[in-house]
Structure 1
Amino acid sequence: MDEKKVRELYAKASLMDVFNNLHSSKNGLSDEEAAKRLKKYGLNTIKKAATESEWRTFFKNFTSMMAILLWISGLIAIVSGTIELGIAIWLVNIINGLFSFWQEKAAKRATDALNKMLPTYVEVIRSGKKKQVDSKNLVPGDVFVLQAGNSIPADARILSASSMQVDQSALNGESVPESKTTKYDPGEGEYAESNLVYSGTTVGAGNARAIAFATGMNTEFGRIASLTQKQEKTSSPLTAELNRLTKQISIIAITIGVIFFIAAIFFVKYPLAKAFIFALGMIVAFIPEGLLPTVTLSLAQGVKRMAKKHALVKELNSVETLGETTVICSDKTGTLTQNQMTIHYLWTPAGEYQVTGNGYVNNGKVEFNKQQLWYEENPDLHKLVQIAALDNDTTVEPNKNGGKPKILGTPTEASLIVMAQKAGFDKQKVLVKYPSLRELPFDSERKRMSTIHRWNDTQDIIFTKGAYSDTIKQCDRIQVNGQVRKMTQADLIRTKKANADYASRGLRSMALAYRIIDQDTDINKIDIAHAEQHLIFVGLATMSDPPRPEIYDAVKRCHQAKIRIIMVTGDSKLTAKSVAVKIGITSDKARVISGTELNQMSDEELRQVLQGEVIFARVAPEQKYRIVKNCQANGEIVASTGDGVNDAPALKQADIGIAMGMTGTDVAKDAANMILTDDNFASIVAAIEEGRAVYSNIRKFLTYILTSNVPEAIPSVLFLFSAGLIPLPMTIMQILTVDLGTDMLPALGLGAEAADPDTMKEPPRKRSEHLLNKHVMIKAICWYGLISSLISTAAYFFVNYQNGWPQTVLAASGPVYMRATTMVLGAIVFTQIANVLNCRTNKTSVFKKGLFSNKNIWYGIIFEICLFFILTITPGIQQVFNTTTLAASDWLFLFLLPIPLVLLEEARKWLMYHKKNN
């Protein structure tokens, strides 16, 4: 039997049938029977998905395609006789793998620290006696007690209830608590049965006894967790892109190696063995050994910056995926909104009053603050605030740490208490004057709550609040400007219109009324029907779960970045659309689709709808998952946000799942790729910006590395195709010095580059747009690389020119040759200084971004200058790298070299900027 039918069975069955089916009674199970069932059903826990072993996770960092390419290139270097080089390449791979493993391990520790488990203890009835047991030991058939503030440990049928309200937002996304009673009512939407409670939800108010019929993985909470765990994990877009890049680079390197091998044999007449070793050296030279460390560092820096902005990333590759995001499927409650009901307007027949931080504004003109105790001057508002505060059993306790106040009761009643506190109403002081005598608790049938208070020596007063449609029926009188009179048809029409106007704006209305009775009435014997009749209508208190203050700017930035936001919520259609339009997610023309309507749509119809403005309301967990999957079928890169267990399948399916750290369930956090430690939607936008920066930085690195390969290759081309008449202007060891020595640290500095100012004003990159594209190739080879090649080649011939060339033959050894090759190496090193500065920005001036704002690059520049200096002055090393000491004029030339190159690139960027704007 499927889960829905099981729920219906226990919801519709009589209590006797429930007891018989579970072989239990109102006195619960015996300890012996509970122990037997614990062995049969297992612990009442949510099992986590099987994770990779630490060893497998560890070795995964050394077996990516790029890592394998480095292992092979290191081996080639050793085979070709450069053992030190091969060991250096392998060390780069090992250090990078260890760093990646450490980063992901640190993220996992932080995630584990955030996870909150189900309640530890529960009060059960065993053999007719109450006792505390670990909630892990709860079994089907156990009768347990629930009170306000308790988390519910199992799926259960209610046996008895008093004013029971349950916050089910973790399961269904609905911000309004559900009323729970012993009577069956199917309710509206998923998990709305009035006599069932579910594991992982919370008691907002009241108390109850219930009998568990499902525990652990058999609960709805567990079922959704299981659905999430069955989903296969897919590789990230960055992993796929790096694999593609590895293949491209391998093909390029091997092709160049083959060309140089053939050229060495036919043009220079090298023996096969020597030509092969020469070609192997060129292959190693064209493999960017620094790519993997740069990618890892870029991702790690992104993780670090995101953590400062309250976004905890569990896996490094998830950082870049964020940057590709084209659609955010966002829950409403607690994600876009504050998950905190707030009073916005008070309405009386005499006028409307807007709630502000300091008090209220009457029709936008007259402001009253709490020091003036304005409600005492306005009899209608005075009465309304009295009813709101006194007909209320919720308490709001201030948070000592300055966070959100602790609410003992329902969010709806808490909003009324907070409103009264803003007005300066001292509830405890007033209760001394008007002591509470009796409470008539809220229930889902009449949708009202009343309290009876001593009013004066001869009279008592009944305060009543409840849903407008159910309360107005009980009112036959109305208070206007302090005067009570009979309610007319015109009065009724006005109140209905006011209620409808608020509903159209996504606000909930609560009606407030009262009645004065003589003390000769026995209040302990008066029934609810008699007490709540002939009421005097006072007004409406309207409320909603308000949007987060920072959400407006976050949504605006998403629109600028061409990222669509699709609201997917368990709330009503009216509320969902009102919030979406208010915060700017969609226009008023957006289509709102309910879960029921979604069930009737084919996937093809859904994919069509997802291309336009759309909002989803009253959706079930499986439907959220379906929405995400069909967005992906449309070619979208989807980020899905959520905090409840109902969000977990969608979080797992999405390209990037984002869970709330403060209010999120354990299942949601496990399913997500990223956790917001402040539950702030704005943090997602900041994280997307970092993700885009990471991809941009990897591309900047690629441009930088390819640039140096061009001047490295040109000398060898001259040597080969001149049939050896032009001695090799740059040796293999010098080429590898640039790749693994001087280029490495500045390149890593590019990995830590902050996002460009216009990053969030560009659309997300297309999946078809690859790291190595024509723009990178043109910039690296035809612009930066060509300039560097011309300068380095000119430096070689200029040194020879100073020493008699072309009248004399180019030297193939000796001091002149060593000085010429040293200047070629120096020219490449110093042009790369200009190139790394030029690569820092794509369109913006590097001076506008801050020439010295990236200290890591300057540390790298200082390091490469020092390394080059050491290579030119140290005996022994000079012989290995074919270098020599340079004159002061040579050093002056090299140090001045980057200046015109930077200015030339600045001029190009300026021209491109003005061309685009014109």
Structure 2
Amino acid sequence: MEENKIRELYAKNDISEVYTNLHSSSAGLTSAEATARLAKYGRNEIKKSQEESEWKTFFKNFISMMAILLWISGAVAMFSGTIELGIAIWMVNIINGLFSFWQERAAKRATDALNNMLPTYVQAIRDGKKAQIDAKELVPGDVFILQAGNAIPADARLITASSMQVDQSALNGESVPESKTTDYAPGEGSYAEANLVYSGTTVGSGTARAIAFATGMNTEFGKIAQLTQKQNKVDSPLTQELNRLTKQLSIIAVSIGVLFLIAAIFFVKYPFAKAFIFALGMIVAFIPEGLLPTVTLSLAQGVKRMAKKHALVKELNSVETLGETTVICSDKTGTLTQNQMTIHYIWTPQNEYKVTGNGYVNNGQIELNNKQLWYEENPDLHKLVQIASLDNDTAVQPSKVKGGKPKILGTPTEACLIIMAEKAGFDRQKVLVKYPRLRELPFDSNRKRMSTIHRWNDHQYIIFTKGSFSDVIKQCDQIQVDGKVRALTDDDKKRAEKHNADYAAKGLRSMAMAYRIVEKENADVTKLTIETAEQHLVFVGLTTMSDPPRPEIYNAVRRCHQAKIKIIMVTGDSKLTAKSVAVQIGLTSDKARVISGDELETMSNEDLREALKGEVIFARVAPEQKYKVVKTLQENGEIVASTGDGVNDAPALKQADIGIAMGLTGTDVAKDAANIILTDDNFASIVAAIEEGRAVYSNIRKFLTYILTSNVPEAFPSILFLFSGGLIPLPMTVMQILTVDLGTDMLPALGLGGEAVDPDVMKQAPRKHNEHLLNRSVIIKAFLWYGLISSAISIGAYFFVNLQNGWPHVPLAADGPVYMRATTMVLGAIIFTQIANVLNCRTNKVSLFKKGIFSNRNIWYGIIFEILLFLALTVTPGLQQLFNTTRLLPVDWLFLFCLPIPLVIIDEIKKWLLYHKK
């Protein structure tokens, strides 16, 4: 790629050519030139994707398919003469739209508060002098200074470097810091050029001077952000499903309206105009006006519950998408692991020691055969701990917050050696007073060693050396065993090589420790070179380290597997490390295939699709390759959640059905691309969020069953009226139907939206992508079970009143007090059967009494509200006229209050027969 060639030129060219190309020098830019370049190149910042204006965001909440259907329904209601009804439907739409906008705006503000990535200030050379400037004003050609702990503000070429190591995990996912020098070396993996540093990464140790060649959106960091921003946003599965449901319900409502129009004309002999208005009223009655607000509130409640579990949801519909996730593509470093290098074992020729306590925890210990040891008790362990602690440039400052992580001033690799020494009881500062450091031979990526020279006594210096096993052992010709130094034999080397290979096979990174004592009379400490100092060393042993898995990851992975959710590791780390961690935490078996980025580059789409069907791990992948994995999974029909914290994860986060970014360690680009942000960076929070997502979808389906149930008894009176040719007076008016839909059904339905998660929800497979909200089970329950029972009871209530007034010897009342009481009883019967139905809908298989009949208080508040509302409709004069109701007799109220009891019992028997017995 052209951009990579430009980057390569800056890496390969002599520094003088770099100065020439950038029209700069070692003295940096002048203030005037810097100002001109700032105008030309723009500020050094990562621009967010063009966000919708607040007005556009506001109005989109009022134009979903269901919202449009409600606007039309309200207009139809007004056209049919029921203006109050039309206004009520529109108010439902307006309130729901305002609520959705408020929820998403609150989430956006919380997200913006988390984003804080690039450094605020940088030390640049301007007009030949050091100047502290805002990092956003850095421009190409600026020379700037770096030291341990600095975030790197731009892509730059190193001019000078001393013991420079850079944590590039935010960019490439690699957990091991990269060594940086002024000499060009291509390195292994992405962004590994030894003399280039990149925006958004962090200096682990050392100091350097660099010249910026790319800033802002022209950096590698910015290019990945642009790749993310170019992706088109697709509707969430829930949005797609609600659109489908809207179409289905619209077809049902219009079809029923047409049937009622024909029936009114041919059976009741209505004129066309009157029949048309009657049919319009029935269409409005069959539109579930409460669906949208209930879905919105259900999602909002899910968002609130997830926030308590450390998952910040940016968009409401993302909640449900998590619930149907079939595959999680997870980054390794910082997501599955702690992003804290930790020593696990120490090996000396005599013993292997176990180091306990994870990460930067100082309360661990070093053990031999499960017995705690202090370093003084074993001369070989003593020497190894001494080398690890003193041949070290990193400082570990205790946290000022109780339970917080110590502050690391240096690299994670050296930090874990300091912590190991502390666990052994080694007092570094006290020992440094006794053996002060005189010189340092800094680490470089060519020899892969670091040495420090100390005063040993009045007559001797001691040289401590640490580094990669292969690079240290070749400088050794002696070995220390049980405190005694002797010649290093071939057998000694083979034993050490075997242990080193065994540790590598476990995904552990080893570091060798050696030393040498030099007589003062034979060497001038100021004149010792790398070649003269790092020879004839005494080999002491190995330390083995890794970035350990998060403690909670084991249970989280197990629960995902129980829930039939596949987890695929996609990391920038090495193949060996990736597989080791995956097997260790139970992500995959040892038989899993590991595909590198180079292999992935040459794979055909068909081969990749086939590989993704089995156990697979992806290692050393570039950002566009991670994106490719996610996209291919989606082409395989999977619902994909992708996790990550680095800028390298952002394209995949944006493409995934649900992107999950880390809030504490995540880059602003990753958080901007994600749908959900974990405020505790805890993978286990994803499992809790998936559980909530599944609960939300289950609750929406329960609500749908509940509201569709009432449509059957609402339609039945009109069916009797039409097909009796008007001999049975209309038992229920359109305004009474809307009383149920927008009045009495609403609050209990909202209570269903907050129903607690079913205990077995994470033991079920994700719902199939082609399984819709309005499925066979919902239709049978709503229309053929609850609906028909409620219809029979409500019509029974109508005839119950007429029976008390002389029917069948007296014709059915078509108007007057008896008719008013009969229609009121139909309305009351539907309301009271819906009380039973809302309780029955709370569980699918489990007994209501086992779950707790009073455990969902919101449903009971809704039940109390609908009873009080019905009472108000029957006794308030103005409402009586509007809704065609009247006062009921005590016997009527007794009849109504008894209705829910047998319905709940019948449903409990059905659940026992269908599920418990099975």
TM range (shorter): over 0.9
CA distance in 2, matches of 1:731, 1:218: 67
Q: Is the 8 A contact 2:170 2:647 kept in 1?
A: yes
Look up the equivalent residue of 2:896 and give its one-letter code.
Answer: L
Give the match for residue 381 of structure 1.
381
Q: CA deviation at 1:568?
A: 0.4
Give the match for residue 19 of structure 1.
19
Give the match for residue 654 of structure 1.
656
SS of the residue aligned with 1:876?
helix
Q: Is the 8 A contact 2:355 2:367 kept in 1?
A: no
For the pair 1:638 / 2:637, whether they are aligned, the reply is no
- After TM superposition, list the pairs within 5 Å mapping 1:753-768 onto structure 2: 753-768=755-770
Look up the equivalent residue of 2:249 and give its one-letter code.
Answer: I
Q: CA deviation at 1:390?
A: 1.1
Q: CA deviation at 1:489?
A: 1.4
The structure 2 residue matched to 1:546, chosen from 521, 545, 548, is 548
For the pair 1:709 / 2:711, whether they are aligned, the reply is yes
Q: CA deviation at 1:802?
A: 2.4
Cα deviation per residue 1:856-878 (whole Å; 9 max; x = unaligned)? 11111110010011112222322
SS of the residue aligned with 2:877?
coil
CA distance in 2, matches of 1:393, 1:599: 39
Cα deviation per residue 1:810-866 (whole Å; 9 max; x = unaligned)? 122223222222222111111101111111122222222222222211111110010
CA distance in 2, matches of 1:683, 1:830: 41
CA distance in 1, matches of 2:797, 2:496: 89
Q: Is the 8 A contact 1:344 1:544 kept in 2?
A: yes
Give the match for residue 913 of structure 1.
915
Look up the equivalent residue of 1:512 and give its one-letter code.
Answer: M
For the pair 1:99 / 2:99, whether they are aligned, the reply is yes
Look up the equivalent residue of 1:54 and give its one-letter code.
Answer: E
488-497 or 158-167: bigger deviation: 488-497
Cα deviation per residue 1:532-561 (whole Å; 9 max; x = unaligned)? 111111111111000001111111111111
Give the match for residue 683 of structure 1.
685
Look up the equivalent residue of 1:768 and give its one-letter code.
Answer: N
Q: CA deviation at 1:362?
A: 4.3
Cα deviation per residue 1:345-389 (whole Å; 9 max; x = unaligned)? 1111111111113544645x34116xxxx2111111111111111
Look up the equivalent residue of 1:92 and give its one-letter code.
Answer: V
CA distance in 2, matches of 1:366, 1:95: 65
CA distance in 2, matches of 1:553, 1:562: 14
- After TM superposition, list the pairs within 5 Å mapping 1:490-639 onto structure 2: 490-520=491-521, 521-639=523-641
Q: CA deviation at 1:312?
A: 0.7
Q: CA deviation at 1:696?
A: 1.2
CA distance in 1, matches of 2:541, 2:598: 35
Q: CA deviation at 1:337?
A: 0.3
749-758 or 499-508: bigger deviation: 749-758
For the pair 1:406 / 2:407, whether they are aligned, the reply is yes
Q: CA deviation at 1:272?
A: 2.1
Give the match for residue 312 of structure 1.
312
CA distance in 1, matches of 2:178, 2:425: 30
12-21 or 288-297: bigger deviation: 12-21
Give the match for residue 899 of structure 1.
901
Q: CA deviation at 1:456?
A: 2.2
Q: Report the number of matched residues.
A: 911
CA distance in 2, matches of 1:905, 1:417: 66
Give the match for residue 367 of structure 1.
371
Look up the equivalent residue of 2:251 and give its one-letter code.
Answer: I
Q: Is the 8 A contact 1:140 1:214 kept in 2?
A: yes
SS of the residue aligned with 2:759?
coil
CA distance in 2, matches of 1:729, 1:484: 105
Q: CA deviation at 1:71?
A: 0.7
CA distance in 2, matches of 1:412, 1:892: 77
Give the match for residue 448 of structure 2.
447
For the pair 1:206 / 2:210, whether they are aligned, the reply is no
Cα deviation per residue 1:643-676 (whole Å; 9 max; x = unaligned)? 1111111111111111111111111111111111
CA distance in 2, matches of 1:420, 1:720: 89
Give the match for residue 877 of structure 2.
875
Give the match for residue 834 of structure 2.
832
The structure 2 residue matched to 1:804, chosen from 786, 803, 806, is 806
Q: CA deviation at 1:156?
A: 0.8
889-898 or 508-517: bigger deviation: 889-898
Cα deviation per residue 1:107-152 (whole Å; 9 max; x = unaligned)? 0100000001311111111232211111111111111111001111
Q: Is the 8 A contact 2:366 2:424 kept in 1?
A: no
CA distance in 1, matches of 2:495, 2:287: 78
Q: Is the 8 A contact 2:507 2:576 kept in 1?
A: yes
Q: Is the 8 A contact 2:117 2:200 kept in 1?
A: no
TM-score by length of 2: 0.98
TM-score by length of 1: 0.98
Look up the equivalent residue of 1:325 and give its one-letter code.
Answer: T
533-542 or 567-576: bigger deviation: 533-542
- After TM superposition, list the pairs within 5 Å mapping 1:26-105 onto structure 2: 26-105=26-105
For the pair 1:173 / 2:173, whether they are aligned, the reply is yes
Give the match for residue 351 of structure 1.
351
Give the match for residue 109 of structure 2.
109
Look up the equivalent residue of 2:297 and give its one-letter code.
Answer: L
Q: Is the 8 A contact 1:186 1:192 kept in 2?
A: yes
Q: Is the 8 A contact 1:359 1:368 kept in 2?
A: no
Moved beyond 6 Å, runs of 4+? none
- After TM superposition, list the pairs within 5 Å mapping 1:260-299 onto structure 2: 260-299=260-299
449-458 or 471-480: bigger deviation: 449-458
CA distance in 2, matches of 1:819, 1:481: 102
Cα deviation per residue 1:304-338 (whole Å; 9 max; x = unaligned)? 11111111111111111111111111100000000
- The 3 A distance-change label for structure 1 pair 366 and 585 is closer
- The 3 A distance-change label for structure 1 pair 28 and 742 is same
Give the match for residue 360 of structure 2.
none
SS of the residue aligned with 1:822?
helix
Q: CA deviation at 1:433?
A: 1.8
CA distance in 1, matches of 2:26, 2:905: 85
271-280 or 824-833: bigger deviation: 271-280
SS of the residue aligned with 1:465?
strand
Q: Is the 8 A contact 1:509 1:543 kept in 2?
A: yes
Look up the equivalent residue of 1:666 and give its one-letter code.
Answer: D
CA distance in 2, matches of 1:234, 1:879: 49
Give the match for residue 430 of structure 2.
429
For the pair 1:246 / 2:235, whether they are aligned, the reply is no
Look up the equivalent residue of 1:702 and give its one-letter code.
Answer: L
CA distance in 2, matches of 1:359, 1:681: 24
516-525 or 94-103: bigger deviation: 516-525
Give the match for residue 774 of structure 2.
772
Q: Is the 8 A contact 1:22 1:141 kept in 2?
A: yes
CA distance in 1, matches of 2:719, 2:446: 89
Q: Is the 8 A contact 1:360 1:367 kept in 2?
A: no
CA distance in 2, matches of 1:471, 1:548: 32
CA distance in 2, matches of 1:849, 1:150: 55
For the pair 1:742 / 2:737, whether they are aligned, the reply is no
**How large is the Cα RMSD of the aligned pairs?**
1.3
CA distance in 2, matches of 1:359, 1:721: 83
CA distance in 1, matches of 2:173, 2:892: 70
Q: Is the 8 A contact 1:330 1:566 kept in 2?
A: yes
Q: CA deviation at 1:795?
A: 1.7
SS of the residue aligned with 1:811?
coil
Look up the equivalent residue of 2:517 and give its one-letter code.
Answer: I
Q: Is the 8 A contact 1:359 1:367 kept in 2?
A: no
Cα deviation per residue 1:206-234 (whole Å; 9 max; x = unaligned)? 00111111111111111111111111111
CA distance in 1, matches of 2:754, 2:214: 51
Give the match for residue 481 of structure 2.
480
Cα deviation per residue 1:461-510 (whole Å; 9 max; x = unaligned)? 11111111111111111112222211111111111111111100000001
Q: Is the 8 A contact 1:350 1:481 kept in 2?
A: yes
Q: Is the 8 A contact 1:353 1:360 kept in 2?
A: no
